[in-house]
Amino acid sequence: MSMYQITAWITTFITSVICVITYLSNSRKEVNKRWFLMSLSIALWSLFLGFMFGAKDAKSAFIYSKTLMMGASFIPITFYHFVLVLIEKQKEKKQRSILLFGYLIAIFVFLLNFTSLLVKSVSYKTIVRCFYPDAGYLFILYIFSYFAFFGYGCFLLFKSEKMLPMFKKNQVRYILIASGIGSVGGATTFPLWYQIQIVPFGSHFVWLYTFAISIAFLRYILMDIRVVVTRASIFAFVYVLVLGIPFMIAKVAKPYLVGAFSERWWLVILGIGMILAGIGPFIYIRLKSRAEAILLKEERKRHQDLARASRDILRFTNLDALLKAIIHSLIRIMRIKLAAIYLADEDKKVYSLKSAWQPPIKNPDLPKQVIFNSALIKMLSNRKDKPLTIDELNFYRRGSDDLEFLELKQIFESLKSQLIIPAYRTGKLMGFLCLGNKYSERGYSQEDIQVLMVLASHATLAIENAIFSGQERERQAILFHSASLASLGTMASMMGHQVNNRFQAVNNLAGFSETLELMLDSKKDFSLDERKQLIEKSITSLRRISDEATKGGETVASIRRLGKLSSEEFSPVALGEVLDVALGVLRYKIKFDEFNFNMDVLDTLPKILGDSTQLGEVFFNLIDNAYDAIKERAEANSNPDYKVEGDGLAADSQSHKLEGDGLATDSQSHKLEGDGLAADSQSHKLEGDGLASDSQSRKPELTIKAYIKRNDKHLHIEVSDTGMGIKDDFMPKLFVPFYTTKTSSGKGTGLGLHVIKRIIEFHKGKISVESKYGEGTTFKIELPTAEAREGEKTNA
Amino acid sequence: MPKLFIVDDEPSFEEAIKPFFELKGFTVFTAQSGEEALPKIEIEKPDVILLDMHLKGKLDGLGILKEIKEKSLSAKIIMLTGMENDVKDEALKIGADKFLTKPVTVKVLYESVAEVLAQDK
């Protein structure tokens, strides 16, 4: 069996397999049908070619050559038709005429095989060592059609390459090169028909050609052909060296080696060969990376930018800002015309457009919603995290009437997109990114898509984070408000109590009327002096009633002030007034004779820009807490067995249970809100004037101090007590939401230091605490003056 | 002559209520805090005690109530408060005989005192 026969049948085998695969993969697609027909023609041709090469006599050789030409007659036209369908030009009028013409020629050539006009005869040709056909008069027609159709087909491929999207471009390049080489290779068989002594070496490689083309169009994503060619060349180069060098050495240096090593001289060669084979791969890899770095420099840079953007977006906590950032990065780095993000709306069963940009249009005309069971979502869900391009849809299209394809194509068009990247989180489709065409009109390469997938997964994480933060903030705001209201409730309740006391006093004094009545009833005779006394007593009572009424009125006024629930109306407020409100309420509960109350707050201090109600709450709570701490300590000192429950601030052990509620959020907010607290928890100060051991004989102190520092537009306020203090362990958790919940005489809830901190921060201030357990605590507050805040506004 | 003990830090109680009840035939004692009241109560053994919830000093109304009950004094106790009624149940549980919310008129005070005094008989 000759080489020719072997290679011919290899071609047959491979081409037949390709036939079958092509048919099975997608028989309804036009391009597959065309390729199937062409492969079939080639398979038939090569089958009989093989037989012909193996023919033992002229007669059988003659028959085989006719049959092989029957197969061959259709090769050119089927190729041409395949190309047309590939570049989607088969419907053009001009092309249809050409096709018709081509098929007619093919049929004609086919029929010619029944005569000897195509294949005149066979003769034994030494150059191939077998019988080989001789050309008939009309063989030239076949050659003509062959070159015409292959040539023009390749030309069309070449021309169309520029205008195709990336993936098709690659395909076309592969096919063009393969066809070019293949057709030239095929043509090498012609000269010998005319006794021109050229070896038909091309026939050995036909299988390669069909194989290459099949790969090109059966696989959807192909490596960039430049990369393939580069790698192949470098590989060839390296291995030519690896194999060639020992060979060269053997040839050139053989005499010397034999001289040196006699019979074992070839071991040296082998040794050199092995060394080279060892280092060969490394050289290959290095050269390959260098070459590809240069080749793909621009693409690599883009991908690096995208990778960096992926990491950057993780720092966003605001959802809107995050989405805008993602879209801007995509448009800028990928240089595309449009980007949009859709996110799932759990309750509404749709994916809503959250952010989009089509420079310069800020709100491009895109569908606002995509429903859960639209074709697009179904397709994305089926493919898990694989991105989807319109090209791929086209590729897998099952024929021109594929309804699903048409629906998807319409969706893509309405989304103005070329690529859609799904965002998955815990197995669910959270949303998707839509990317439009690149400005360069080139498609998305495989590497592009891979990098974009990384961006998408980072984006998904960041989006989830932002949503969670947003929800957290909302939740905190709600908790804050209810705590605020509860605290206000307590204050109002206390004030109500005070008013009731005023009324009781009024009642008591008015009760003098009852006394008078009793006296009148007794019908006793009153002396002048006695009458005078009664009248004077009445006058006193009435005056006192008036006083009590006035006091009541003042309390009502403070209740009225409370009634202005925290609107965000900031106005300049004097600290003195705020403290008056707070103390006014507390005067009821706090026995100011039990301790030394020092207030060092001058009227001349600058005003704070703020909400007097909220600030009132803050100081009300701080002073209340301070007072409780003092009482605790007094208890502890008088009763040695008395154990302080919890952190010294909570009077009730329930506070620990409440802390457990939402611990995850506690630690998170602690991280988010850290400002000055970490620093302060370490330092402890001896409070006041060294009351440590001597607490029993000395009166406790509660001090409120306010001052300004030079060149610092802040008002500094300190509320300190010589109470129980706070244990070290509890210091870090001090400002955690609801950590401190205490009951004051069983009524209401304290504001909790967390809420106090929020109010201070809302006023653009800072709060910190220093404490020593057993000795006392100082809260330090810093608030910008009204002047400073005004300055901010004018600067902004 | 029934004995009435008033524990309240509001001075108008002593000024105005005391004369009234005295005219009605009571002997009236007053105190402004728990610490002041308890020893006096033990000595005088009043029949009725008018006790305010919120007082100066360490003990509040409930505390004093408990102390009185612990000492098994036989006085009837009327609690008086200006705040909400959420401790009403507790006070009654500990052993208060009546619970009033301020403001109350002198007349109501008198009627309550008469009512609790009549309870045993």
For residues A242-255, give the mean pLDDT.
81
For A591, the closest of B15, B56, B83 (CB atoms) is: B56
Nearest to A509 among B16, B83, B104 (CB): B16
Report the alpha-carbon distance of residue A272 to residue A256 in Å, rounded. 15
Domain annotation for chain B: domains and CATH numbers? 3-104 (3.40.50.2300)
Q: Is B12 on the interface with A (CB under 8 A)?
A: yes
Taking residues B54-59, report their average pLDDT.
Answer: 75
Is residue A45 within 8 A of residue A72, CB to CB? The reply is: yes
Asked if A505's CB is within 8 angstroms of B19's CB, the reply is no
Domains of chain A: 3-224 (1.20.1070.10), 229-291 (no CATH), 300-470 (3.30.450.40), 566-795 (3.30.565.10)
Mean pLDDT score, A466-490: 77
Backbone angles phi, psi at A688, to 5 degrees: 60, -125
Is the per-residue pLDDT at A165 higher than 70?
Answer: no
Cβ-based neighbours of A140, under 8 Å, separated by 6 or more? none
ipTM: 0.86
Residue A750 has pLDDT above 70, yes or no: no
Interchain contact, B12 vs A505, CB within 8 Å: yes
Query: Three-state SS for A423?
Result: strand
For residue A564, what pLDDT is reported?
A: 58
CA distances from A638 to A633, A649, A696 (A): 9, 18, 8
Contacts of A745 in chain B (CB under 8 A): 54, 60
Instruction: Give the dihedral sign, CA A259/A260/A262/A264.
Output: negative
Q: Are A718 and A599 in contact (CB under 8 A)?
A: no
- The 10s digit of each residue's pLDDT in A672-726 is 333 333 333 333 333 333 333 444 457 888 999 999 888 888 899 999 999 888 8
Q: Which two tokens stand for residue A62?
A: 């003659």
Residue contact B82–A512, C-beta within 8 A = no
Q: Which residues in chain A touch residue B105, judged by CB atoms under 8 angstroms apart? A: 507, 510-511
Decide if A510 and B17 are in contact by the 8 Å CB cutoff.
no
Measured CA to CA, the distance from residue A722 to residue A733 in angstroms comes to 21
How far apart CA A663 and CA A657 sit, in angstroms, is: 11
Asked if B86 lies within 8 A of A747 by C-beta distance, the reply is: yes
Whether A587 has its CB under 8 Å from any CB of chain B: the answer is no
A157 Cβ partners below 8 Å, 6+ apart? A83, A86, A87, A172, A175, A176, A179
Of A493, A503, A541, the CB nearest to B84: A493
pLDDT at A679: 34
Greater confidence (A648 vs A269) lies with A269
Mean of pLDDT values over A138-143: 90
The count of CB pairs under 8 A between chains A and B is 81
Other Cβ atoms within 10 Å of A640 Cβ, number: 6
Predicted confidence at residue A44, as pLDDT, reads 92
**In the predicted model, is pLDDT for residue A568 greater than 70?**
no
Average pLDDT of the segment spanning B52-81: 83
Task: Give mean pLDDT, residues A501-526.
Answer: 85
Q: In the structure, what pLDDT confidence band is assigned to residue A81 with cuts at 50, 70 and 90?
A: very high
What pLDDT is recorded for position B121? 53
- Convert the pLDDT of each residue in A715-734 to its tens digit: 999 999 998 888 887 777 77
Distance CA A330, CA A339 (A): 7
B115 at the A interface (CB within 8 A)?
A: no
pLDDT of residue A652: 32
Residue A774 — left, alpha, or beta (φ > 0 → left; ψ -120 to 50 → alpha)? left
Q: Where are the alpha helices (DSSP H) in A415-511?
A: 446-510
Q: How far apart are CA A353 and CA A339, in angstroms?
A: 11
Please report which confidence band the pLDDT of residue A649 belongs to, taking 50, 70 and 90 as the band edges: very low
CB spacing of B20 vs A509 below 8 angstroms: no
Q: Which chain B residues are Cβ-neighbours of A500 within 8 angstroms?
A: 82-83, 101-103
Mutant choice from B59, B83, B112, B113 vs A, greatest count of A C-beta within 10 A: B83
Contacts of B13 in chain A (CB under 8 A): 508
Q: Can you tell me the distance from the alpha carbon of B81 to that of B103, in angstroms, rounded to the nearest whole number?
A: 8
Quickly count: other Cβ atoms within 10 Å of residue A29's Cβ. Answer: 20
Q: Looking at chain A from residue 421 to 440, which residues have their Cβ under 8 Å from any Cβ of chain B?
A: none
Question: Cα separation of B88 and A208, whole Å?
Answer: 100
Taking an 8 Å cut-off on Cβ atoms, the answer to whether A497 and B23 are in contact is no
pLDDT exceeds 90 at position B4: yes
Q: Phi then psi for A716, rounded to 5 degrees?
A: -105, 130
Distance CA A330, CA A452 (A): 9
pLDDT at residue number A615: 87
List the single residue in B with minimal CA-CA distance to A587.
Answer: B56
State phi, psi for A450 to the nearest 5 degrees: -65, -45
Contact B44, B20 (CB under 8 A): no
- The least confident of A1-10, A367-376, A685-694 is A685-694
A502 near A552, Cβ under 8 Å? Answer: yes
Q: Which of A509, A510, A518 sits opposite B23 (nearest CB)?
A: A518
Greatest mean pLDDT range, A212-221, A503-512, A578-587: A503-512
Split at pLDDT 50, 70, 90, the class of A27 is low
| CA–CA separation, A63 and A49 (whole Å) | 11
Q: What are phi and psi of A601, to 5 degrees?
A: -130, 110
DSSP code per residue over A687-704: -TTT-STTTTTSPPEEEE
A300-313: burial string, b at 16+ Cβ within 10 Å, e else: eebbeebeebbeeb
Half-sphere exposure for A442 (CA within 13 Å, toward CB): 11
Tell me the residues of chain A between 322 and 341 that have a Cβ less than 8 Å away from chain B: none
pLDDT at A148: 92
- Confidence grade of residue A434 (pLDDT, cut at 50, 70, 90): very high
Identify the pLDDT of residue A522.
80
A298 vs B99, which has greater pLDDT?
A: B99
Residue from the list B19, B84, B106 with its beta carbon closest to the beta carbon of A507:
B106
35-94 of B, contacting A, C-beta below 8 A: 54, 56-57, 60, 82-84, 86-87
Mutate which of A499, A501, A551 to disrupt the B interface (most B C-beta within 10 Å)?
A: A501
Q: What per-residue confidence (pLDDT) applies to A104?
A: 92
Where does the pLDDT of residue A222 fall: very low under 50, low under 70, confident under 90, or very high at 90 and above? low
Flag if A504 and B103 touch (Cβ within 8 Å): yes
Helices (H) and strands (E) in chain B, counts: 6, 5
What burial letters (b/e) apply to B106-120, b meaning 16+ CB within 10 Å? beebbebbeebbeee
Q: For A87-119, what is each residue's pLDDT tens digit?
A: 877 788 888 888 899 999 999 999 988 888 888
Distances from the Cα of A516 to the Cα of A525, A545, A608, angstroms: 13, 16, 54
Question: Is pLDDT at A640 greater than 70 in this prediction?
Answer: no
Mean pLDDT value across residues A49-78: 89
Average pLDDT, chain B: 86
Is the bond preceding residue B39 a cis peptide, omega within 30 degrees? no
3-state secondary structure A264-290: HHHHHHHHHHHHHHHHHHHHHHHHHHH
Q: How confident is the model at residue A794 (pLDDT cuts 50, 70, 90)?
A: low
Are A771 and A726 in contact by the 8 Å Cβ rule? The answer is yes
A521 touches chain B (CB under 8 A): no
A747:B83 CB<8 A: yes
pLDDT number for residue A587: 73
Is the pLDDT at A415 greater than 80? The verdict is: yes
CB A338 within 8 A of CB A434: yes
Q: In chain B, what residues touch A519 (CB-CB under 8 Å)?
A: 23
Cis previous bond, A732, omega within 30:
no
What integer is the mean pLDDT of A496-508? Answer: 85
A52 vs A670 pLDDT, higher one: A52
Side chain identity, residue A448: D
Cα A420 from chain centroid (whole Å): 14
Nearest to A325 by CA among A451, A415, A433: A433
- Looking at residue A716, its pLDDT comes to 93
d(CA A333, CA A267): 57
- B-contacting residues in A 471-500 (Cβ below 8 Å): 493, 496-500
A441 vs A46 pLDDT, higher one: A46
C-alpha dist (Å) from residue B19 to A203, B8, B80: 135, 16, 19
B84, A747: Cβ pair inside 8 Å? yes
Going by pLDDT thresholds of 50, 70 and 90, the confidence category of residue A223 is low
Q: How far apart are CA A653 and CA B53, in angstroms?
A: 24
Query: At A583, is the secondary structure helix, strand, or coil?
Result: helix
**Residue of A491, A493, A502, A504 best to disrupt the B interface, most CBs of B under 10 A:** A504
Q: CB within 8 A of A374, min separation 6: which ones?
A: A411
C-alpha–C-alpha distance, residues A372 and A449, integer Å: 24
Per-residue pLDDT at A717: 93
**pTM across the whole model:** 0.48
For residues A545-551, give the mean pLDDT. Answer: 86
Between CA A358 and CA A286 the distance in angstroms is: 41
Q: What is the length of chain B?
A: 121
CA distance A478 to chain B (A): 26
Number of other CB atoms surrounding residue A563 within 10 Å:
10
Q: Above 60 in pLDDT, residue A769?
A: yes
